[in-house]
């Protein structure tokens, strides 16, 4: 049941209230955050342990009580460590700023990736306090939370802009953005074709690179080799099916692109620390 609720929330709220928050624990099928991107902005607030966030080719460690703001369109993923529990709040920046033209003017260069923010905030900083307050409001849904959520998000953005810790992207960053765009094409190709047999040559062609350079560059920008990422995506997809259906494990393996069931078990255990059958016994 927990998983079904999570799936519904992944629509990121409603048109009238485009905010959604998930409390992520080890029981979630996508507890490990596979590198991905979306148009909405995202706040990650760590409740316990720590979270290794991978953001546009760089790795950052977010400790308990700290948070990060990820601007829409940025490639990001991460690995929870030390019994990490974290909140993910996803929101539509355009909808948030719709009623305030002056705020939109301040943030437009950042939304367009013309400027970049220092978006990692320590515990007890004002942005981190705002992040905790807004995630609490969305998860607890006390009367009046519809006012608290956008209000506290605007406070958080105000505290961030007041620090003026943004910088021009420059030619190097512009080049990085172009490379990230290429890898987005590769990830989209994997998402659409992971059930089939995919070769490195196919992925390299999607990126417009030769195979050897592609493998090195892909790992630099996602933290995983192309084969590791493909297997990771397949295993996470299998976890979703295990949590939400009663299909046989061998059928799930085949449906997720594993033609060899023994190899599926081996890869699953190496990534999840348990066999698929043991994973089935968890309460979702």
Do residue 177 and residue 100 come from a single domain? no
- Find, among 232, 218, 210, the residue nearest to 185 by Cα: 218
Question: Any idea what the CATH number is for the domain that residue 94 is in?
Answer: 2.60.120.810
The CA-based angle 121-219-22, given to 5 degrees, is 45
Do residue 191 and residue 267 come from a single domain? yes
pLDDT in tens, 201-258: 999 999 889 999 999 988 888 888 999 999 999 999 999 899 889 999 999 999 999 9
Calculate what percentage of the chain has a pLDDT beyond 70. 87
Q: Token digits for 162?
A: 């007041």
Q: Is the dihedral of CA 88, 116, 122, 134 positive or negative?
A: negative
Do residue 224 and residue 155 come from a single domain? no
The range of the structural domain enclosing residue 186 comes to: 172-280
> How many Cβ atoms sit within 10 Å of the Cβ of residue 57?
15
- Find, among 90, 71, 84, 89, the residue nearest to 31 by Cα: 84
Do residue 39 and residue 131 come from a single domain? yes
Do residue 26 and residue 136 come from a single domain? yes
Do residue 6 and residue 75 come from a single domain? yes
Do residue 54 and residue 180 come from a single domain? no
- What is the distance between the alpha carbons of residues 65 and 63, in angstroms, rounded to a whole number? 6
pTM of the entire structure? 0.79
**What's the pLDDT at 207?**
86
**What's the pLDDT at 12?**
64
**What's the pLDDT at 2?**
37
Do residue 13 and residue 46 come from a single domain? yes
Do residue 145 and residue 187 come from a single domain? no
- What is the distance between the alpha carbons of residues 71 and 119, in angstroms, rounded to a whole number? 9
pLDDT < 70 positions in the chain: 1-13, 113-115, 117-118, 164-178, 283-284
β partners of residue 51: 62, 80
**What's the pLDDT at 223?**
80
Do residue 36 and residue 150 come from a single domain? yes
Q: What per-residue string of b and e applies to 241-276 under the rule 16 or more CB within 10 Å gives b?
A: bbbeeeeebeebbbebbbeeeeebbebbeebbeeeb
**What's the pLDDT at 90?**
95
Do residue 189 and residue 263 come from a single domain? yes
- What is the distance between the alpha carbons of residues 37 and 216, in angstroms, rounded to a whole number? 21
Question: Any idea what the CATH number is for the domain that residue 240 is in?
Answer: 1.10.10.60
Do residue 163 and residue 251 come from a single domain? no
What is the domain count for the chain?
Answer: 2
**What's the pLDDT at 176?**
61
């Amino acid at each position: 049941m927990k998983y079904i609720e999570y799936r519904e929330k992944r629509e990121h709220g409603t048109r009238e209230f485009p905010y959604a928050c998930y409390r992520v624990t080890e029981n979630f099928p996508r507890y490990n955050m596979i590198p991905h991107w979306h148009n909405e902005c995202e706040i990650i607030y760590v409740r316990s342990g720590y979270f290794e966030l991978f953001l546009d080719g760089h790795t950052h460690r977010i400790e308990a009580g700290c948070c990060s703001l990820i601007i829409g369109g940025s490639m990001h993923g991460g690995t929870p460590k030390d019994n990490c529990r974290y909140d993910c709040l996803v929101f539509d920046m355009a909808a948030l700023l719709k009623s305030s033209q002056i705020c939109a003017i301040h943030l437009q260069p950042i939304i367009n990736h013309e400027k970049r923010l220092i978006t990692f905030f320590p515990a007890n900083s004002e942005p981190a306090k705002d992040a905790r307050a807004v995630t609490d409001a969305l998860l607890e849904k006390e009367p009046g939370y519809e006012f608290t959520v956008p209000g506290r998000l605007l406070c958080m953005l105000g505290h961030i802009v007041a620090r003026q810790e943004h910088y021009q992207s420059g030619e190097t960053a512009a080049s990085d953005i172009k490379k990230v765009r290429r890898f987005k094409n590769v990830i989209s190709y994997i998402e659409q074709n992971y059930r089939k047999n995919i070769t490195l040559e196919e992925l390299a062609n999607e990126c417009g690179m030769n195979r050897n350079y592609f493998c090195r560059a892909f790992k630099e920008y996602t933290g995983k080799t192309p084969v590791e990422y493909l297997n990771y995506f397949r295993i996470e997809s299998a976890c979703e099916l295990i949590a939400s259906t009663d299909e046989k494990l061998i059928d799930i393996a085949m449906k997720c692109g594993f033609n060899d069931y023994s190899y599926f078990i081996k890869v699953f255990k190496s990534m999840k620390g348990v066999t698929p059958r043991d994973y089935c016994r968890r309460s979702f």
